[in-house]
Amino acid sequence: MVRSAQDSRYRFSFDIGGTFTDLVLYDETTGHMDVRKELTNASEPGAPIIRGLKALLEARSAKAEQVADVVCGATTLVTNLVIERKGLPTALITTKGFRDVLEMRREGRYDLYDLTARYPVPIVPRHLRFEVEERIGADGSVVEPIAEKQVRELANSIKKQGIKSLAICLLHSYRNDTHERSVEKIFSEVAPDIMISLSSEVAPEIREFERLSSTVLNAYVKPFIGSYFRSLENEMKKIGLPARLHIMQSNGGILDTQEAERVPIRLLESGPAAGAIAAAKFGTLMKRPDLISFDMGGTTAKTCLVTGGEPSITYEFDTARADRFKKASGFPVRLPIVDLIEIGAGGGSIARVDAMGLLKVGPDSASSKPGPACYDIGGEEPTVTDANLILGYLNPDFFNGGRMKLNRAKAESVISSRVGKSLGISVEEAASGIFRIVNENMANSAKIHVAEKGKDPRKSLLIAFGGAGPIHAREIARLLGIGTLVVPLSAGVFSALGLLLAPLSIDLAKTRFQPLDDVDWTDVDKQFTELKAKAAEVLTAAGGARSAIEYKHSVDVRYIGQGHELNVSLDGDFSGDTKAKVREQFFADYRQLFGRAIEDIPMEVLNLRLTAICPLGQFDFVSATAAADDGGARDRGRRRIFVSELGRYEEVPVLDHRYLPVGFEATGPAVVEQRESTVIVGPNDKLSVDHLRNLVIKLGSVNSENKNGS
């Protein structure tokens, strides 16, 4: 039976990036998928979403009411507010004597030998940091009752100063939050318009500074989130979309906007997490569950290590780094986050010659406005995209599927005047230099990230996506010594596609600080049961629980006396010798990271962690990617491109990914065009198309070196 467009039911997702907003419309009935890119509008983020959705629906002859009741989105809003310091003035209330923890940090340097090591200026200035008399002990007992009269006077004072957001972080509130709740209650009575962020809700874990930092960041961005999401939802309702908006969190799961508004810092790595989720799913379908994902868009590049079909998760993350290559040089966030390295390297990254006469690229970006010079919408700075156009990697008449025309003359002009003349080289040499430098920057950061996980990148494959990722991926793989590169169909909107795979998810934690030998695992089971009940309540309120909720249990463990811990997975069955299981897994993970484990040193437990997951909607990856488009020619002629390994320009064949059949094979050099990106295939590389219509590229030079043992 032939189905009409009116019979279909669609799922819709969008990813708001710094340069482009990516959109995916998936037909649950037929498995057909349509994608689109629109330039991001920072002042009206909903505009490109609505414009793109209307175009996608029109192409399908479908109506807005046919879209499923859940729309999934990702946004860079939280990250941008923190990095660009565009949040509202925020106040902080702490226990008496702890006012300056935010500035004192952990009294150490992220680089032991750098006496000039810098840190970002605290989000809350000292005159907005206030102390109250109270004290909770490390065991959760009340040492000193809270001075309610003082808190009430403080509430009146802060209200008069016009403060709109407040972070409350009292000592040991992860054990007992009654004092934080008391402060919240008083403020709700005296100053109800002030938004409150409690550390016992945002990050209820041991470690004072990290909990404080996470809570302050949450308070800093909180006033913007509710109005931002409501604006998006209102725009969707105007066109008859009956959907409820859900947002990707940093942990790779989605939640409704109400829960996201309560703890918005969970959205810090919203978009990048979606791409890592999609890469992990592709790896599983390809039976290659261990891989490295490489996501390069218009503003940033992200690398994530995927192991066993799951992206790596970290509980130690810092944002807005003073030194982008140095861990702990930013604001720490104590929340589960997909563990990726992110640097300011994208298509819009600006190139310049510094005072020393050296060519630099990024981290600042031209973004969507004014954009790269070749976009011809006002940009006057040379960018990576301009260089890629000059090198022949981009088709000026087929950028973004032909919806944008690129101005090569503008690109040549800015690169020549801002880079070429300063260095005394041709415009082509300047473009090549920009290309090489940004590749080296990304490869170096990826190499460090993977090495810190105890892995060898040469034993992995690289899956590349993002608007600019497939252009640079081949060189990144070569620099890392990776022999196999995979580029999925519609790689330019891959993160938006990952949103359709993400489940409803919530992470909860409870501090339990004691020696491993003293842990009562029956009591631990009871505590996990309490966390499960809370997680189920959140997911049900978020519109989930449509299927069985899956729970993942884990515990943070370390050697007694260590400053950092490992997260050890548990099977949730506490009837057996759980301590032995924890020890065995801890030693295995420790050896993976550090090469050896010392088994006669006692260990201690810090935190219990629970992840609750509930699948949401349908998405058949094979149907969405494997059905070939009809009526198009695979050959798109030839184009002159710069071949890095040969150091010269060559005429190479140009292929259209949409029309390459499963099993297709070719030998590079070549260019493969997608509507949203471009793939560069190097000399002697072997190109093939697998059952998911991925481009699988075997790098000739790398595999030759590996074969020869060099």
Are 128 and 198 found together in one domain? yes
Examine the pLDDT at 479 and tell me if it is beyond 80.
yes
Confidence band for 534, pLDDT divided at 50, 70 and 90 = very high
Are 104 and 54 found together in one domain? no
Examine the pLDDT at 389 and tell me if it is beyond 90.
yes
The arithmetic mean of pLDDT across residues 448-454, rounded, is 83
Can you give the pLDDT at residue 545?
A: 56
Examine the pLDDT at 3 and tell me if it is beyond 50.
no
Are 61 and 147 found together in one domain? no
In a domain? residue 645: no
Are 588 and 568 found together in one domain? yes
Can you give the pLDDT at residue 362?
A: 81
Residue range 539-568, pLDDT digits in tens: 887 765 556 889 999 999 999 988 889 999
**Structural domain count of the chain:** 4
Least confident of 135-149, 172-186, 203-217, 297-311: 297-311
Are 257 and 385 found together in one domain? no
In a domain? residue 302: no
Examine the pLDDT at 629 and tell me if it is beyond 70.
no
Its domain, for residue 402, covers 349-433
Are 105 and 182 found together in one domain? yes
Q: Where are the beta strands (DSSP E) in 17-163?
A: 20-27, 33-39, 70-75, 90-95, 129-132, 135-136, 142-144
SS3 state at 519: coil
Distance CA 125, CA 22 (A): 37
Examine the pLDDT at 708 and tell me if it is beyond 90.
no
DSSP structure string for 433-484: HHHHHHHHHHHHHHHHHHHHTT--GGGSEEEEESSSHHHHHHHHHHHHT--E
The arithmetic mean of pLDDT across residues 618-627, rounded, is 62
User: Rounded mean pLDDT of the chain?
Assistant: 89
Are 241 and 220 found together in one domain? no
Can you give the pLDDT at residue 158?
A: 94
- Rounded to two decimals, what is the model's pTM? 0.86
Are 93 and 216 found together in one domain? yes
Listed residue (644, 629, 636) closest to 680, CA to CA? 644
CATH number at residue 41: 3.30.420.40
CATH number at residue 538: 3.30.1490
Can you give the pLDDT at residue 621?
A: 66
Can you give the pLDDT at residue 135?
A: 95
The neighbour count for residue 32, using CB atoms within 10 Å, is 15
Can you give the pLDDT at residue 580?
A: 93
Can you give the pLDDT at residue 324?
A: 65
Can you give the pLDDT at residue 705?
A: 61
Query: Omega into 669 within 30° of 0, i.e. cis?
Result: yes
Can you give the pLDDT at residue 2?
A: 37
**Pairing mode, if any, of strands 20-27 and 165-169?**
unpaired
Are 63 and 184 found together in one domain? no
In a domain? residue 25: yes
Which of 235, 266, 297 is the last residue in one of the domains?
Answer: 266
> By the 8 A CB rule, do 126 and 134 touch?
no
The neighbour count for residue 620, using CB atoms within 10 Å, is 13
Residue range 10-21, pLDDT digits in tens: 889 999 987 889
Are 515 and 602 found together in one domain? yes
627 DSSP assignment: S
In a domain? residue 160: yes
In a domain? residue 115: yes
In a domain? residue 523: yes
Residue range 641-662, pLDDT digits in tens: 999 888 899 999 999 998 998 8
Which of 158, 190, 224 is the last residue in one of the domains?
Answer: 224
Listed residue (697, 201, 225) closest to 470, CA to CA? 697
Tokens of 647: 């150091």
Residue range 84-110, pLDDT digits in tens: 788 889 999 999 999 999 988 887 778
Distance CA 35, CA 30 (A): 15
CATH number at residue 138: 3.40.1360
Are 107 and 177 found together in one domain? yes
Examine the pLDDT at 669 and tell me if it is beyond 90.
yes
Residue range 465-475, pLDDT digits in tens: 999 999 999 99
In a domain? residue 558: yes
Listed residue (616, 298, 340, 361) closest to 453, CA to CA? 340
Which of 159, 194, 224 is the last residue in one of the domains?
Answer: 224
Examine the pLDDT at 4 and tell me if it is beyond 90.
no
Examine the pLDDT at 382 and tell me if it is beyond 50.
yes
In a domain? residue 323: no
Are 542 and 579 found together in one domain? yes
The arithmetic mean of pLDDT across residues 670-691, rounded, is 93
Query: Omega into 370 within 30° of 0, i.e. cis?
Result: yes
